Amino acid sequence: MANITMLDLDQLRKTKLKPYIERSLELRAPDPGFHAMMGHNIDLAEAAYLAWTGVFNSGDLDHRLKEVIRVNLSRAANCSY
């Protein structure tokens, strides 16, 4: 299993990820761990966040499918969603 160091969000707020981190905390999604893990590659983190918000927050994806994705992700993480 991979072992990825989670970066400090306060340090990541000093990068171009700051507005994305702030928005995520405001909306409570994605989890702050997303940025703490993806922040190892700032450009990839930005692209992944923009893709995520485009799909989940803009209405481009049917709500029922979003729920199926959430349930499957929670099961994969052994979360009791």
5-31: average pLDDT: 93
Residue 81 falls inside a structural domain: no
Residue 43 falls inside a structural domain: yes
Element (H, E) at 12: helix 9-12
For the chain, the average pLDDT equals 88
Could you tell me which of 26, 28, 48 has the C-alpha nearest to residue 37? Answer: 48
Q: How many domains is the chain partitioned into structurally?
A: 1
Q: Which residue has better confidence, 62 or 12?
A: 12
Instruction: Please tell me the predicted confidence (pLDDT) of residue 23.
Output: 93
Residue 4 falls inside a structural domain: no
Question: Residue 1: pLDDT above 70?
Answer: no
Residue pair 16/35 in contact by the 8 Å Cβ criterion:
no
pTM of the model: 0.73
Cα–Cα distance for residue pair 50/42, rounded to 1 Å: 12
Domain residues for the domain of 19 are 9-76
Instruction: Please tell me the predicted confidence (pLDDT) of residue 81.
Output: 58
The full length of the chain comes to 81
